[in-house]
Amino acid sequence: MIPTEKINANTENIDISSPIDIVKMIHEEDKNAVKAVDGALPQIAQAVDIISENFAKGGRLLYFGAGTSGRLGILDASECPPTFSTDPEMVQGTIAGGEKAVRFAIEGAEDSEELALADFERLKITQNDTVVSISASGNAKYVVKILELGQKSGAKTIAVTSNPDAKMKNFADCFICAQTGAEVISGSTRMKAGTAQKMILNMLTTASMIRIGKTYGNLMVDVRPTNSKLKNRAVSIVSKISGKDEESARKTLEKNGWNVKEAVIQLKSGLDFESARRLLEKNGNVLKTALSEL
């Protein structure tokens, strides 16, 4: 039996428990999701190497999943443009059954190889792309077919699952298995398995973006300041790195169109915006490397 489909002996009496005992049971099981991710860290790091190397070649990170897994891929992908100023094409999430499936269950979508083929062909996947299939069981025909097609195309393939015997393993260059075990409610993989998936996807994108220079230390220097909160954050970041006061940082950002990296270089060097941008481009848009030339 698939591990996430087993009956959890720890929660068999959950239906006759008090509210506090119910949430305690759920919370105790959630802790096991974190432990499961601990065991998968070497494979997650391997995946980060694959993804960041492909990013350097101009490739994309493409998530695929059905149901909760597909929604989590879309969520992680959607956070990359505002966080790291990436093109929306760079990290994408696709759910079996299309946009409607984000909000509603689409009968049979996870078992459709035809949908997998259509989605794969639509994205025109190349050998520089990284294909990631996400599935608690790792056996749904949609996600297995996606990885099979990915390997045939020459793309790198990654599986994210909670089943060590998942069929996806046969087509994965990197197999990430967080063994979360039986769910609080049997088979409800939106819970522990979903929590583990969310953690893993966060690591894949965040670590890969760090590897290609999207941060300065742990500061979000590629943030896209589209609202007041993010503009204030950008001001704080520029002030901290440049060593200048926040008023100077804000004025420089307002003048240069809220480009954080260029503003730091401008304030530290006195260069104009275009010269700062050229210096960045020369250094692969890695701020720390560009600053070393000043």
Contact 62, 129 (CB under 8 A): yes
Structure tokens at 245: 């006061």
Instruction: Considering the candidates 5, 53, 79, 113, report the single residue annotated as catalytic.
Output: 79
AA identity, residue 181: G
Instruction: Considering the candidates 29, 110, 148, 262, report the single residue annotated as catalytic.
Output: 110
Residue 91 bridge partners (DSSP)? 61
Whether 110 sits among the annotated catalytic residues: the reply is: yes
Angle separating helix axes 68-78 and 192-211, nearest 10 degrees: 30
**Strands of 174-177's sheet, edge to edge?**
91-95, 61-65, 130-134, 156-161, 174-177
Whether 113 sits among the annotated catalytic residues: the reply is: no
Q: Are strands 156-161 and 130-134 parallel, antiparallel or unpaired?
A: parallel
CA separation for the pair 116, 17 (Å, rounded)? 42
- Spatial neighbors of 208 by CB under 8 A, at least 6 apart, are 48, 51, 52, 55, 61
> Contacts for 182-186 with beta carbons within 8 Å, 24 or more apart?
182/3, 182/4, 182/5, 182/6, 182/7, 182/8, 182/9, 183/4, 183/8, 183/29, 184/8, 184/11, 184/14, 184/25, 184/26, 184/29, 185/11, 185/14, 186/5, 186/6, 186/7, 186/8
The residues that are catalytic are 79, 110
